[in-house]
Structure 1
Amino acid sequence: MREKGWIKFISGLLVILVTFLLGGCAATNQNQQQAADEQKPQLIFADPQWDSVEFNNAVAQYIIENGYGYPTDTTSGSTAITFEGLVNGDIDIYMEVWTDNLQPKYGEDVKSGAIQELGVNFSDNAQGLYVPTYLINGDPARGIEPLAPDLKSVQDLPKYQQLFQDPEDPSKGRIFGSPAGWEVDKILQAKIKNYELDKNYNYFSPGSDTALATSITKAYEEGTPWLGYYWTPTWIMGKYDMTLLQDTPYSEELWDGGYRCAFPSMNITIAVNKNVPQKAPDVAEFLKNYQTNSELLSSALAYMQKNDVKVDQAAIWFLKNNEDTWTKWVPGDIAQKVKATLK
């Protein structure tokens, strides 16, 4: 009996010891993982201040923070300033590089190795001069007659300067351009001058993306004329019926000779500073897989506008409702971590 009791005592002691050791190992592993997460470098995203890039930032930041354990932040500024920040290392990640608007600098910086292009975010985009479709076709439901039924192209615009009258200079029409500081602003001003539209129109630079969108919203709700620059994907194009004016078909020769043709549809890429693949290799792999499209982005942006939610809330809505899309970007264990935070 004493021998059996002694064996039971030793067995119980071993069970306690093994349990203690396993618990200690688990705690150690957990502490090591926590320490590793705390040591991960902060990743800075570029915010050139248009809505689709801010949405893409929010989605990527949520996945990186909750799935990979890296802290993130954003740096705001013009396209030129934020892109220069990417090159010199003040910014790590640029979720939407409108490549053709930044040539030849973009190509030179990729070639030099200062930045790395990880992939194409989306390529089904359009940009140029738009008008509300009701100006061309009318809108019987709203009692709007077609005021410019023959307006089809940019080349037709000299005939319609009075329709788009500039309230500050009635002798000319007004073309709404892009916000000052955007790289496309230089392109638009050059196009208008080279097309000699400056003889008939004043170029008006709104103060921000919001101001430009507000000018469209106001005109559309009032059923009045509006002419200006816009692009896809945006919530504006998801909500309103707008017509892109035709232009001379794109050719490299005409574009390089003063932007005398339509904007090319371009690859909107994801680029990172040269150091990111070394300091956050798992994030670099994730960004290589990150891919959206204009329809998906316009839907998310329209959700933001319709429900008056901030971009962070829209990112969570997107992640909850588009699992089949974003889970393809990450390994299974990362997807599970992200999903756990969405419940």
Structure 2
Amino acid sequence: MKGLRALVVGTLFTFGSTLGLPATAAQAPIHFADLNWESGSLITEILRTLVETGYGLPTDTLPGTTITLETALANNDIQVIGEEWAGRSPVWVKAEAEGKVLALGDTVKGATEGWWVPEYVIKGDPARGIKPLAPDLRSVSDLPRYKDVFKDPESPDKGRFLNSPIGWTSEVVNQQKLKAYGLADSYVNFRSGSGAALDAEISSSIRRGKPVLFYYWSPTPLIGRFKLVQLEEPAFDAEAWRTLTDADNPHPEPTRSLASKLSIGVSAPFKQQYPQIAETFSKVTLPIEPLNKALAEMSEKHGDPRQAAQAFLKQHPDLWRAWLPKDIADKVAAAL
């Protein structure tokens, strides 16, 4: 990595001239959001690799919660969010309306999110000696009568719902959903400290054959690894959705989440300064199956996201060559 950075810095003037940039602008690293979930980190490293090897520009990452990173993007303190669930948070909606941020492309087809339980909770698993614990569980409206199945060890009179970590946009939405679905008094809103901790809690429960109710999303390795059932929610309603994304709304209304659309979030100054790269980002498409496979391999091997990204690019040149001009694609291929 250090060698790559040195090579990049040593050739910045050449590439800066090629892109029509002043040398000082070319030397400044492009700041990517350091996303702390698996698909976000993998996609981020795929994009960084393309920018560094194809366009010869340095990059780095800056950590933060979803909301703080979207605020930073609006202020151009960072320039790229590799996996942006656009239109979900008030911060993003406001910044987009003001022309400060843009969502480029439709990067992952088939992405989804919702509330899930292991299949054996409903159907049982005779091979593991597990009997059905909630045979009629289909919808979030069924959850009040099954609170004892998902008993919270610290508040045994309530069930436990595993929410996103604090700071994720989905954490606010799920907290509001608990109120909107009439579950706030019967379920504990349990927040893990990180995406990895949420993953570990779910995986541990499933391996032990224990009932668990949780929020999750795809693309992820976990969705493909276990047999899960997504609970039904009320039909989408745009007005109700606004009440779920507002943490301060005292009367949230029930609705399923906004249909998932994953994009690459960029700041307006970034698009203006690097139109070629923005054009590339607008063409990025990652089919769900190979992406989930790459995520599963990265998870199982506890792999470094940068190495996993390079392996993905080596395995799927047909994908990224379609996003890039030929001369840029040839540089990426040579570097890989």
AA in 2 matched with 1:263: S
Normalization by structure 2: what TM-score?
0.88
1:95–1:121 Cα contact (<8 Å) kept: no
Q: Identity of counterpart residues, as a percentage?
A: 36
Match of 2:95 in 1: 109
1:124–1:265 Cα contact (<8 Å) kept: no
1:312 to 299, 306, 313: 306
Return the alpha-carbon distance in structure 2 between the equivalents of residues 84 and 264 of structure 1.
21
Return the alpha-carbon distance in structure 1 between the equivalents of residues 125 and 216 of structure 2.
21
Return the alpha-carbon distance in structure 2 between the equivalents of residues 31 and 200 of structure 1.
59
Aligned-pair distance for 1:36?
A: 4.6
| Structure ranking higher in helix proportion | 1
Q: Does 1:57 align with 2:44?
A: yes
Match of 1:328 in 2: 322
Return the alpha-carbon distance in structure 2 between the equivalents of residues 34 and 264 of structure 1.
41
User: Do the aligned partners of residues 249 and 35 (structure 1) sit closer, same or farther apart at CA in structure 2, a change above 3 Å counting?
Assistant: closer
Return the alpha-carbon distance in structure 1 between the equivalents of residues 41 and 12 of structure 2.
34
2:15–2:55 Cα contact (<8 Å) kept: no
Return the alpha-carbon distance in structure 2 between the equivalents of residues 286 and 69 of structure 1.
14
Give 3-state SS (helix, strand or coil) of 1:156's partner.
helix
CA RMSD of aligned residues (A): 1.9
Return the alpha-carbon distance in structure 1 between the equivalents of residues 97 and 183 of structure 2.
37
Any gaps of 5 or more consecutive residues in structure 2? 1-10, 244-251
1:254 to 240, 260, 269: 240
Match of 2:290 in 1: 296
Give 3-state SS (helix, strand or coil) of 1:81's partner.
helix
User: Do the aligned partners of residues 142 and 53 (structure 1) sit closer, same or farther apart at CA in structure 2, a change above 3 Å counting?
Assistant: same
1:123–1:265 Cα contact (<8 Å) kept: no
Q: Does 1:271 align with 2:265?
A: yes
Select between 118-127 and 91-100 the one with higher mean Cα deviation: 118-127
User: Do the aligned partners of residues 273 and 237 (structure 1) sit closer, same or farther apart at CA in structure 2, a change above 3 Å counting?
Assistant: same
Match of 1:206 in 2: 192
Report matched runs for 1:30-179 at 5 Å. 33=14, 36=17, 40=26, 41-103=28-90, 105-179=91-165
Q: Number of paired residues?
A: 312
Q: Deviations over 1:90-109 (max 9, x none)?
A: 10011222124214x42332
Return the alpha-carbon distance in structure 1 between the equivalents of residues 189 and 196 of structure 2.
18
Q: Deviations over 1:35-70 (max 9, x none)?
A: 758752311111242211111110000011011100
Match of 2:219 in 1: 233
Aligned-pair distance for 1:206?
A: 0.7
Normalization by structure 1: what TM-score?
0.86
2:84–2:103 Cα contact (<8 Å) kept: no
Question: Where has structure 1 moved over 3 Å in runs of 4 or more?
Answer: 34-39
User: Do the aligned partners of residues 338 and 287 (structure 1) sit closer, same or farther apart at CA in structure 2, a change above 3 Å counting?
Assistant: same
Return the alpha-carbon distance in structure 2 between the equivalents of residues 77 and 32 of structure 1.
31
Q: Deviations over 1:184-220 (max 9, x none)?
A: 1111111101222122111111111011000111011
Return the alpha-carbon distance in structure 2 between the equivalents of residues 295 and 240 of structure 1.
15
Aligned-pair distance for 1:317?
A: 1.0
